[in-house]
Amino acid sequence: MSKTTVNSIELYFETAGSGDTVLLIHGLGSSARDWEMQIPAFAKHYRTVAFDLRGHGQSQKPKGPYSMSLFAKDTAELIRSLGVGSVHVVGISLGGMIAFQLAVDHPELITSMVIVNSGPELVVRTLKERWQVFMRFAIVRLMGMRKMGEVLSKRLFPKEGQEYLRQMFVARWAENDIRAYLDTMRAIIGWSVADKIQTIKKPVLVVAADSDYTPVSSKEAYIPTLGNAKLVVIEDSRHAVPVEKPDEFNRIVLEFLSKQ
């Protein structure tokens, strides 16, 4: 457990294991803690690094504006500070978006990528999508982070036997800094590198939950644009698939990494 100064801010990170480096990038409103079911499994084979993005967890939370290029620059400087050359990047949701931005801006730092329930853009196009964005901003501003966590927890972990996961999610979500969370939301909405991902030639594994917020078809749509990518769908799972189905997720990712 360490902190390092990159891009003029302090980022928290933790490292386990040895060998080639796997860098884990969490999602919006999350932290390195959400990889707790992956780190022990991955560390048996790789040097595994998980960190908190700016505005999240134990990293600094400077005032915005934030941008996806800024998150990618933070990540690039962290990788360089590790002195390992290139890394395998595993990113979920926002973390997957940052991985795409990193691959476009700093391709030399990436050995391979695992993109989990994510894509190369988040452009609001339909009235339904506009309403969803408005409601998320409204709930956070009017009712706070805990309420937002309660709403999301029921979508992420809807089963009867997932009460512990719901409670854990709400407790962690409530710790978020509202300003930093909203600054990150603003960085995501309207972002796109969809017109640049044809330049990505490194191996890419796209992992999709069959009941993610966005349909599997949205992942299938961008796969052909990538030079060397494949899609794996995890059945009966939702957006937080590494937490919901850790054993299956870990097996799929480790199998991919072993071939790189």
What are the tens digits of pLDDT across the range 93-119? 999 999 999 999 999 999 999 999 999
- Take residue 157 and report the two structure tokens written for it: 């972990």
Calpha distance 254→237 (Å, rounded):
19
Residue 93 DSSP label: T
Beta-bridged to residue 2, according to DSSP, are 13
- Encode pLDDT of 66-100 as tens digits: 999 999 999 999 999 999 999 999 999 999 999 99
Bridge partners, residue 15, by sequence: 49
Go through the domains of the chain in sequence order and give each one's CATH number.
2-121+193-258 (3.40.50.1820)
The residue to which tokens 């972990």 are assigned = 157
First to last CA, the chain: 27
Query: Residue 1 pLDDT more than 80?
Result: no
DSSP classification of residue 160: G
Q: Kindly report the number of other CB atoms within 10 A of residue 258's CB atom.
A: 9
Peptide bond into 224 cis (omega under 30): no
Q: Flag whether pLDDT at 57 surpasses 90.
A: yes
Total residues belonging to the chain: 260
The chain-wide mean pLDDT, for the chain, equals 96
In 3D space, the residue among 84, 85, 88, 80 whose CA is nearest the CA of residue 112 turns out to be 88
pLDDT at 222: 97
Output Rg (C-alpha) for the chain, integer angstroms.
17
Q: How many CB atoms lie within 10 A of CB 138?
A: 11
Give the model's pLDDT for residue 194: 97
pLDDT in tens, 10-56: 999 999 999 999 999 999 999 999 999 999 999 999 999 999 999 99
Question: Cα 129 to chain center, whole Å?
Answer: 20
Section 229-257 average pLDDT: 98
226, two tokens: 């990538």
Query: How far is residue 168's CA from residue 153's CA, in Å, rounded to a whole number?
Result: 9
